[in-house]
Chains A and B, each alone.
Chain A
Amino acid sequence: MQSNNPVPQSRQEWAECMELVKERDKEAFATIFRFYTPKLKQFAFKHVGNEQVAIEMVQETLSTVWQKAHLFDGNKSALSTWIYTIARNLCFDMLRKQKGKSVSLYSEDIWPEDYLPADRVESYSPEQDMLKEQVVKFLQLLPENQRVVMQAVYVQDISQQEVAELLDIPLGTVKSRLRLAVEKLRNQIRVEDV
């Protein structure tokens, strides 16, 4: 496949490129693939010290980018950081596997991924999140007052200001209930491969 797309120059442009990848845009993926493949190969080689294994790591990393693109959140991290952590974690597990011991600790135990960032409630937008519907099912885990606020803001798309007026509570209370609710959900649910 020939790609004539210019290489993105900023975090914002890379994030836009990823939005296209989320829609299964092959050209956009090719841009990322061509940019990162040689860099990842050097990175992986430094870690695993073997050309063939390094190439496997490149393939694993970029497969993850393609197959789990919907989990990338441009508000939360730069694309480079997302790709770096994927490659680091794969290399970590590979190195331990290579040492031949039976392993009960994996990279996901050491660098767990949280898909509900508590400190970014303001910018958190589950409507863009494939997982939203599934998250909604867990709202029952929340105490009543937090559930009502979550439902209004994230399910019914009512602004935080309007929710405050509807419930006749200060805006600060709406914000703090949302923060507590997201924190609680983050603690109580996990996201895993099917």
Chain B
Amino acid sequence: MKYHPEAALLESYVRGQISAVDGVTVTTHLETCSSCRSIVDKLEAKEAQLLENTDSEYDIAFDAMMDDILELPPIEMKVSEKKIGSIQVNGKTFELPKSLSRFTENMSEWRSYGGKVFSSTIDLGEAERVNLLYISEGVQVPQHTHKGKESTLVLHGSFSDEDGEYHKGDFLVADGSIKHSPRTAKGQDCLCLTVLSEPMVFTQGVARVFNMFGHGMYP
């Protein structure tokens, strides 16, 4: 794993100032990335230190609140089996990350693009467009660019583009200025989570027709 969220994104994650969808993407990356996990742990400790060091004086009026709280019983917790969701696409089954397992019912039917690229939209009720994107082996996706921002997290397998090769756990952010054409190698498919703030615009090839359909015909 070589590609990680930028420091600023991890910071906004730790401070709770991240958008909900970016938060889900980051936590999915953290499931497989112990180095970002340890950065997050350190940042949390730092924020906690700031909280602890806040200059303050206790207001006796809060004693009433304390008395109320002390009346409350402990909350018992139960332990149950956690369901790991899975998805089927192109005749294959993939386990979902823990972070997405709760949302299998929010995932649309897979749309096929020429039987080579498949996408399923995850409806999380947010403004961003969230997709699972499956690219079968040996496929070249037409060059495209984005309006807005696209985040990609590799969940299984790998793909590459003009800038590099991306493997499970890798986290990429592309903005509108980047034109790229992802491809998968022979014998190597790829499942990604993608988050788009606005639909893609294709700049080359047959795929340009997708643009004519307006909103997000293509993931």
A-contact 0/1 string along B18-53, CB 8 Å cutoff: 101101101100000010000000001101110110
Q: Is the CB of B58 within 8 A of A34?
A: yes
- Complex contact A81–B44 (CB within 8 A): yes
Tell me if B's interface is mostly helix, strand, loop or mixed: helix
Out of B24, B56, B66, B77, name the residue touching A109 (CB < 8 Å): B24
Nearest B residue (CB) for A33:
B66
Assembly CA distance A107 to B52 (angstroms) = 22
Stretch from B1-9, B98-106, B159-167 contacting the other chain = B98-106
Q: Which of A139-194 contact B (CB under 8 A)?
A: 141, 187-194
Within residues 62 to 93 of chain A, which ones have a CB less than 8 A from any CB in chain B? 62-63, 66-71, 77-78, 80-81, 83-85, 87-89, 91-92
Q: With an 8 A cutoff between CB atoms, is B79 at the interface?
A: yes
Given A43-B51, A84-B51, CB of A78 within 8 Å of CB of B80: no
Interface centre among A34, A107, A130 (most CB of B within 10 A): A34
Closest to A32 in B: B66
Report Cα–Cα, A131/B26, bound state, in Å.
Answer: 28
In the complex, the chain A residue whose C-beta lies closest to that of B56 is A38
B54→A62 contact, CB < 8 A: no
- A91 touches which of B16, B18, B47, B68 (Cβ 8 Å): B16
Residue count of chain B within 8 Å CB distance of chain A? 50
Given A37-B62, A83-B51, CB of A105 within 8 Å of CB of B80:
no
A135 located at the interface, meaning its Cβ lies under 8 Å from any Cβ of chain B in the complex: yes
User: Is A18 close to B, CB under 8 A?
Assistant: no
| A13-61 with Cβ < 8 A to chain B | 24, 26, 29-30, 33-35, 37-43, 47, 55, 58-59
B contacts, CB < 8 Å to A? 13, 15-16, 18, 20-21, 23-24, 26-27, 34, 44-45, 47-49, 51-52, 54, 56-59, 62-63, 65-70, 72-82, 84, 98-99, 102, 106, 124-126
- 13 additional contacts, CB 8 Å, given A38-B58, A77-B45, A189-B79? A37-B58, A37-B59, A43-B51, A47-B16, A63-B69, A69-B74, A88-B47, A103-B20, A109-B24, A109-B27, A141-B81, A188-B82, A192-B77
Is B76 in contact with A40, judged by CB distance below 8 angstroms? no
Residue of A nearest to B77 (CB): A191
B126-A105 in contact (CB<8A): yes
B49 touches A80 (CB 8 A): yes
* Residues of A within 8 A of B (CB-CB), count: 66
Interface of A is mostly: helix
In the complex, A80 Cα to B80 Cα: how many Å? 28
CA A69 – CA B20 in complex, angstroms? 27
Query: Hey, which bits of chain A sit against chain B, CB under 8 A?
Result: 1, 24, 26, 29-30, 33-35, 37-43, 47, 55, 58-59, 62-63, 66-71, 77-78, 80-81, 83-85, 87-89, 91-92, 96, 101-105, 107, 109-112, 119, 130-131, 134-135, 137-138, 141, 187-194
Contact A105 B124 (CB under 8 A): yes
B70 and A66: CB pair below 8 A? yes
Docked-complex contact A71 and B77, CB < 8 angstroms: yes
Q: Which of A43, A55, A62, A105 meets B23, CB within 8 Å?
A: A105
Contact: A192 with B54, CB < 8 Å?
Answer: no
Pick the residue among A63, A70, A89, A187 that contacts B84 (CB under 8 A). A187
Contact A194 B76 (CB under 8 A): yes
